[in-house]
């Protein structure tokens, strides 16, 4: 059975007319990495809140359809039951710091204290996650005296330390500089390799192309595409849904507009693919000139 | 930045080792005795023979004195001026200032009130100087104080300095757009609105996100919370607490019986 099942989900925020999500159905397998892309306002954040139980337990509104996580029906469960199964990290690293702890070590332990784990278990788990996320050197610092990238890694560690079966990440790097982004994605990469189920809403196509098993495209609250990154991210029609494709794809499209791109060949989505495709193109051209 | 609102100074001393609840009991005992004790001069006696020696025993005497002076001198000065001039009732005039008599009785009242405030503030200061806020809160949480209450206290200590930083940023941004923030009182008051509105609305958005973040970390879980930090509660702590309670009952009772 799939770890996450969303069946015919439609959700409308309070005091709004238009649904933010319409008839969403998808199954996510254990260990899968699903990327969710879409323009601003397409429903990415709403989907993340729905998956982590904050809809309908924190934001009210009208929810139809069903979400099952490890067999737990989120609409009929308590939020505290859901958060033990689904971890949520989001954009603003600053607002994810609990504010009641004075060191990073205590900050990461906060969730485990709330779960009532014994002290020894808390210590061993915190030390395990500090090593996994590569922030051992921050352990005794104040969580507020960190850079954005460091804070986001602390926020991630604080969620991961609770060992959620499903990790939901809502644009975790949107407020970070390129260095912070790379640091956070390195953590995400090692999680993906360890078999963690991850659902990531993100704009940065290069990173998605590298990690995701499947890509889901949202437009005005509906699923418009679902497939492998190669299928989805090379589709130039996505530009009309307000999605910025990677520079590799866009360059290939420009070349195609000048009728220089081989017919029927898929656009590249990563540096690796672009190097190969353009390398072939150039060597053919060199060959024809000789 | 982090230490701005926390008075805590890490030192090795018997007072630092004392359980937070014991110190809290001490603070409230001192305050009760200073305000309701059998004799008026008890407040100054408690300050000089209990609080001050304890601050030196805790190795924070210097910091204690300077913080007490900074916090209290303006308040006590104001109190003296107001009470010795404006309290009604005649008596022995000490000095005459313009049409006002400064009487011995009023100076006396002002002195008693000042020493009571001194005892109250300085005993709290001693607690804060020697107790880490998170130790105090986890100890109280362990004893059944609801999580949201201890969370509110500790998070305020952390978030207020962040709000100050944010206010400064908004102020700079508004100034960059030509808002006048310097000058006379009216100008300054008028400059407050463009500061307060973004600060308040921005903070409301932050509060929602922070609520989600702590919910995501099982804050409202019905499970019995545990605590990472281990806080000593030795038999001697318990004995001190009971001793303090008995002293308070005895001294307050003596006041009733003696009447």
Is pLDDT at B173 greater than 90 in this prediction? no
Measure the CA–CA gap between A216 and A211, rounded to whole angstroms.
Answer: 13
Which residues are registered as beta bridge partners of A68?
A: A5, A73
pLDDT for the residue numbered A286: 66
% pLDDT > 90, chain A: 64
Q: Do A79 and B227 touch (CB under 8 A)?
A: no
- Backbone torsion region of residue A79, taken as left when φ is above 0, otherwise alpha when ψ lies between -120 and 50, otherwise beta: alpha
Residue B207 main-chain phi, psi, to 5 deg: -60, -40
Is pLDDT at B3 greater than 70 in this prediction? no
Note the maximum CA span of chain B: 69
Q: A33-37, A254-258, B11-15, B224-228 — which is least confidently predicted?
A: B224-228
pLDDT for the residue numbered A289: 52
3-state secondary structure chain B: CCCCCCCCCCCCCHHHHCCHHHHHHHHHHHHHHHHHCCCCCHHHHHHHHHHHHHHHHCCCHHHHHHHHHHHHHHHHHHHHHHHHHHCCCCCCEEEEECCEEEEHHHHHHHHHHHHHHHHHHHHHHHHHHHCCHHHHHHHHHHCCCCHHHHHHHHHHHHHHHHHHHHHHHHHHHHHHCCCCCCCCHHHHHHHHHHHHHHHHHHHHHHHHHHHHHHHCCCCCCCCCCCCCCCCCCCHHHHHHHHHHHHHHHHHHHHHHHHC
Residues sharing a CB contact under 8 Å with residue B23, sequence separation 6 or more, in sequence order: B15, B126, B127, B130, B131
Helix (H) or strand (E) run with residue A271 in it? helix A271-289
Dihedral, CA atoms, B111, B113, B119, B121, nearest 10 degrees?
A: -120
Stretch B132-137: mean pLDDT, rounded? 83
Q: Name the residue among A54, A116, A162 with its Cβ closest to that of B225.
A: A116
Give the chain A residue whose CA is nearest to the CA of B2: A142
Residue with more model confidence, B194 or A69: A69
Give the three-state DSSP class for A227: strand
Structural domain boundaries of chain A? Answer: 4-232, 246-290
Through-space distance between the first and last CA atoms of chain A, rounded to whole angstroms: 58
Q: Name the residue among A98, A105, A119 with its Cβ closest to that of B214.
A: A98
CB pairs under 8 A between A and B: 120
Is pLDDT at A208 greater than 60 in this prediction? yes
Question: With an 8 Å Cβ cutoff, is A14 touching chain B?
Answer: no
Measure the CA–CA gap between A37 and A44, rounded to whole angstroms.
Answer: 7
**Residues in chain B whose beta carbon is closer than 8 A to a beta carbon of chain A?**
1-2, 6, 132-134, 137, 147, 150-151, 154-155, 158-159, 161-162, 206, 209-230
Residue with more model confidence, A115 or B97: A115
Residue B49 pLDDT grade (very low, low, confident, very high; cuts 50, 70, 90): very high
Stretch B42-46: mean pLDDT, rounded? 93
Q: Do B226 and A98 touch (CB under 8 A)?
A: no
Which of B216, B224, B227 is the best residue to mutate to test the A interface, defined by the most A CB atoms within 10 Å of its own CB?
B216
pLDDT for the residue numbered A51: 94
For the beta carbon of residue B251, count every other beta carbon within 10 angstroms.
17
* B38 in Cβ contact with B159 (< 8 Å): no
pLDDT for the residue numbered A18: 92
Q: A48-57, A112-121, A172-181, B76-85 — which is least confidently predicted?
A: B76-85
Residue A38 exposed, middle or buried by CB count within 10 Å (0-12, 13-18, 19+): buried
Residue B2 pLDDT grade (very low, low, confident, very high; cuts 50, 70, 90): very low
Residues sharing a CB contact under 8 Å with residue B106, sequence separation 6 or more, in sequence order: B83, B84, B85, B87, B89, B91
Give the chain A residue whose CA is nearest to the CA of B220: A80
Is pLDDT at A74 greater than 90 in this prediction? yes
Residue B177 pLDDT grade (very low, low, confident, very high; cuts 50, 70, 90): confident
Q: Do B224 and A116 touch (CB under 8 A)?
A: yes
Measure the CA–CA gap between B52 and B122, rounded to whole angstroms.
Answer: 9
- The mean pLDDT value of chain B amounts to 85
Going by the DSSP 8-state scheme, the letter that residue A237 receives in this structure is G
Residues from chain B contacting residue A95 (CB–CB below 8 Å): 206, 209-210, 213
Q: Which of B66, B50, B46 is nearest to B15 (CA)?
A: B50
Is pLDDT at A44 greater than 60 in this prediction? yes
pLDDT for the residue numbered B192: 79
Q: Give the ipTM.
A: 0.87
Per-residue burial over B117-129, b = 16 or more CB atoms within 10 Å of its CB, e = otherwise: bbbbbbbbbbbbb
Q: Do B2 and A96 touch (CB under 8 A)?
A: no
- The mean pLDDT value of chain A amounts to 91
Going by the DSSP 8-state scheme, the letter that residue A262 receives in this structure is P
Stretch A106-118: mean pLDDT, rounded? 94
Residue B1 pLDDT grade (very low, low, confident, very high; cuts 50, 70, 90): very low
Please check whether the domain covering A4-232 is classified as CATH 3.40.50.300: yes
């Amino acid at each position: 059975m799939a770890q996450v099942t969303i069946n015919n989900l439609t959700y409308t925020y309070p005091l709004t007319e238009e649904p933010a999500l319409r008839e969403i159905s998808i199954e996510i397998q254990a260990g899968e990495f699903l990327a969710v892309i879409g323009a601003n306002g397409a429903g990415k954040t709403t989907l993340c809140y729905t998956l982590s139980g904050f809809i309908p337990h924190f934001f009210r509104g009208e929810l139809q359809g069903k979400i099952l996580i490890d067999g737990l029906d989120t609409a009929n469960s308590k939020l505290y039951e859901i958060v033990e199964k689904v971890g949520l990290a989001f954009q603003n690293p600053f607002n994810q710091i609990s504010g009641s702890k004075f060191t990073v070590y205590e900050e990461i332990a906060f969730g485990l204290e709330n779960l009532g784990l014994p002290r020894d278990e808390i210590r061993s788990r915190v030390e395990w996650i500090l090593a996994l996320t590569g922030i051992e050197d921050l352990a005794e610092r104040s969580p507020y005296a960190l850079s954005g990238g460091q804070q986001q890694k602390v926020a991630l560690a604080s969620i991961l330390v609770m060992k959620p079966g499903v990790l939901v990440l809502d644009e975790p790097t949107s407020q970070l500089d390129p260095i912070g982004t790379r640091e956070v994605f390195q953590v995400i990469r090692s999680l993906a390799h360890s078999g963690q189920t991850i659902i990531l809403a993100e704009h940065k196509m290069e990173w998605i192309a590298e990690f995701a098993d499947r890509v889901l495209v949202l437009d005005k609250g509906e699923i418009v595409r679902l497939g492998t990154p190669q299928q989805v991210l090379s589709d130039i029609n996505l530009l009309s849904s307000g999605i910025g494709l990677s520079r590799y794809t866009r360059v290939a499209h420009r070349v195609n507009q000048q009728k220089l791109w081989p017919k029927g060949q898929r656009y590249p989505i990563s540096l690796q693919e672009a190097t190969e495709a353009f390398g072939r193109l150039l060597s053919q051209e060199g060959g024809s000139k000789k | 930045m982090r230490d701005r609102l926390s008075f805590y100074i890490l030192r090795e001393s018997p007072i630092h080792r004392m359980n937070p609840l014991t110190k809290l009991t001490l603070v409230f005992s001192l305050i009760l005795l200073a305000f309701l004790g059998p004799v008026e001069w008890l407040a100054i006696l408690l300050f000089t023979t209990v609080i001050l020696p304890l601050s030196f025993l805790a190795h924070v005497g210097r910091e204690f004195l300077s913080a007490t002076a900074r916090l209290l001198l303006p308040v006590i000065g104001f109190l003296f001026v107001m009470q010795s001039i404006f309290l009604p009732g005649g008596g022995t005039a000490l000095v005459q200032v313009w049409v006002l008599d400064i009487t011995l009785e009023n100076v006396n009242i002002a002195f008693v009130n000042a020493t009571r405030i001194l005892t109250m503030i300085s005993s709290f200061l001693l607690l804060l100087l020697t107790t880490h806020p998170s130790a105090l809160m986890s100890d109280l949480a362990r004893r059944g104080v609801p999580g949201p209450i201890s969370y509110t206290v500790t998070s305020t200590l952390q978030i207020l300095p962040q709000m100050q930083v944010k206010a400064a940023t908004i102020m700079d941004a508004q100034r960059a757009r030509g808002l006048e923030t310097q000058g006379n009182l009216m100008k300054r008051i008028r400059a407050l609105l463009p500061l307060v509105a973004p600060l308040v609305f921005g903070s409301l958005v932050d509060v929602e996100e922070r609520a989600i973040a702590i919910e995501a970390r099982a804050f409202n879980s019905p499970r019995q919370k545990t605590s990472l930090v281990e806080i000593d509660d030795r038999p001697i702590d318990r004995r001190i607490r009971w001793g303090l309670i008995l002293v308070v009952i005895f001294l307050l009772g003596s006041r009733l019986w003696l009447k």
